[in-house]
Structure 1
Amino acid sequence: MQLAPFFPILYRILQPTFPHCLWAGNPNLKTIALTFDDGPHPTYTPELLEVLDYYAIPASFFWLGACVNRAPFTAKQVYDRGHWIGLHGYDHRSFPVLTTVELQQSLRATQDAIAKACRIDPNSVRDVRPPNGLFTPQILNSLNQWQYRAVMWSVVPEDWVRPGVATVVQRVLQQVSNGSMIVLHDGVCGGQDVAATTAQLVPQLLHQGYQFVTVDTLWQQAQAFTRRHS
C-alpha cells in the first residue's frame, strides 16, 4: 500500500506538535525548496545535476555518510555548484533505534565524510533530516544540544517506491504551496527516476511563479515569519 495520500495529513498533525523543526518556509512568500535524500549516487546524482544546471536553480541535499565515502567526487560536484548540504545519518538507520552515542557518532561520521570530500569545515554542515522522518522528543533535544537543526518536509510524493514519473509530478503539483519543502530521492531507491521527475516538475513550478531556494533560506524566512507573528 502506498502511503502518499496520508503524508499531508501526517504533516498537519506533526508540524504544530514539533514547531522547532523546519517543516516549511514562510506561507506568505512564493518560495519553495527542492530537497533530495539518500545520495550522493555516482550515476543518478550527476544526471540530476544536469537538470538543475539547465534551469539554474539551487537545491538541498541530505546525504548518507556511507554514500559520500563511496562517491566523493560526486559529492564535490554538488557542493561546487553551490547547493545546500545536510545530514541524513551515516547509513539510513532510523534514529530511534540508535543509542544517543550511536546517533552522535553517525552524524559526526557523516560530517567528516562530507568535509573530506568537499574540503570544508565539518562543523559547517548542521542541518539534519532523520531517515524515514522518524524521531522522538528526546532525539530533537539531543540535536538541539549538539547544535544541529532538525529539518523535516511538507511535500512527500513517495518517489522511492517508483510509482512513475507522472504520478510523482502530479502529487507534488497537487500539494505544493508557498514555503513548501519537497522531498525527492537521488539514492538507490527512487534515484533512477529523479532526473526525469525534476525535469518535468521544475518548469511547471517556475511557470506557476515559484522561486526555488535552499533549506537555509527557508530557515531564515520561517524564523522571520515566526518573529513577526509571535
Structure 2
Amino acid sequence: MQLAPLFPIFYRILQPSFPNCLWGGNPHTKAIALTFDDGPHPQYTPEVLAVLDRYNITASFFWLGVCVNRSPAIAKAVSDRGHWIGLHGYDHRSFPMLSLNELKGSLEKTQVAIYNACNLQPEQVRDVRPPNGLFTPATLKLFSQWNYRSVMWSVVPEDWVRPGITTVVERIMQQVKNGSLIVLHDGACGGQDVAATIQILIPQLLQQGYEFVTVDTLWQQAKTD
C-alpha cells in the first residue's frame, strides 16, 4: 500500500501539534527547500549534484553517519558546494526505538563523521530529521535539550517506493506552495530515480517562480512569518 495520499493529511494533523519543528517556511514567500535524505551515496549523490550545479541551486542533505563514513569524498563535494547539511541518524534506525544514550550516540557519531569528511564543526550541523518521519514528544524534547533543531516536511512524494519519475514529479507539483519543504531520497531506496526526477522537476518549479533555499533559510523565514 502506498502512503503518498496520506502524507498531506498527516502533515495537517502533525504540523499544528508540534509547532517547534520546522514543517515549512513563510507562506507569503515563494521560497521552497529541496531536501535529500539517506545519503551520501557513491553513485546517486554525484548525479544529484550534477543537476543542482546545472541550475545553480542550493539544496539540503540529511545524512546517515554510516554513509558519510563510506563516502567521505562525496560528502565533502556536497559540503564544498555550500549545500546545507543535517543529520538523519547514524544508520536509519527509528529514533523512538533507541534508548536515550543510543539516540545521543547516533547523532554525535554522525556529527563526527561529517566533521572528519567536511570539517564542519558539530555546532554547524544541528538540524535533525528523524528516519521514517517517526518521533515522539519525548524525542523532540531531547533534541531541544541537546541543542538540535527538528526538521520535518510538507511535501512527501514517497519516491523511495519508486512509483515512477512522472508520478513523483506530479505529486510534488500538485502539493507545492510557498514555503514547501520537499523530501526526496538520494540513498539506496529511491536514489536510482532522483537525478532524473529533479531534472524534470526543477525547471517546472523555476517556471512557476519558486526560489530554492536551504533549510536554514526556511528557519529564518519561518521566524518572520
Give the TM interval when normalised to the shorter protein: over 0.9
How many angstroms does 1:120 deviate by?
2.1
Residues 126-147 of structure 1, C-alpha deviation per residue, up to 9 Å, x if partnerless?
A: 0000001110001100000000
Residues 159-186 of structure 1, C-alpha deviation per residue, up to 9 Å, x if partnerless?
A: 0000000000000000000000000000
Residues 94-137 of structure 1, C-alpha deviation per residue, up to 9 Å, x if partnerless?
A: 00000011000000000000000001212210000000111000
CA distance in 2, matches of 1:177, 1:148: 27
AA in 1 matched with 2:71:
A
Partner of 2:58: 58
CA distance in 2, matches of 1:112, 1:122: 7
Partner of 1:38: 38
* TM-score for both structures, normalised by structure 2: 0.99
Q: Which sections of structure 1, spanning at least 5 residues, go unmatched?
A: 226-230
CA distance in 1, matches of 2:209, 2:160: 27
CA distance in 1, matches of 2:115, 2:186: 20
Number of aligned residue pairs? 225
Q: Which sections of structure 2, spanning at least 5 residues, go unmatched?
A: none
AA in 2 matched with 1:84:
W
CA distance in 1, matches of 2:30, 2:121: 32
1:78-93 paired onto structure 2 within 5 Å = 78-93=78-93
SS at match of 1:147: coil
Partner of 1:228: none
- CA RMSD in angstroms, aligned pairs only: 0.4
Q: Percent identity?
A: 73
Residues 66-104 of structure 1, C-alpha deviation per residue, up to 9 Å, x if partnerless?
A: 000000000000000000000000000000000011000
* Structure 1 segments of 4+ aligned residues over 3 angstroms from their partners: none
